[in-house]
Structure 1
Amino acid sequence: MENEKDQTSEGLNQIFEIINAKGDEGELKQIVDKNESEQHINKNE
């Protein structure tokens, strides 16, 4: 249950980051790269 809450929180944080990026391609790329690296780390745990 706690893991599910953490995932929801991370997802909401990512949505807010994307909204705040306001079309800045560099910032959007950083957000995507960060998410991909976090998913890769979580798969290896």
Structure 2
Amino acid sequence: MSVKHYEQHISYILNCGKECYANLVANDVRRMNNDGFNAMADEEY
């Protein structure tokens, strides 16, 4: 991941705390795990 991506994570922690950051991480993991299923994931969210 790029440095800018990590800076985004840091700003999420500072701005909205652990709960918001946990959601960001969950979205990252979902994006990596569901590369072939993006259409289905997008419909759910």
Q: Which one scores higher on RCO, CA 8 angstroms, separation ≥ 6?
A: 1
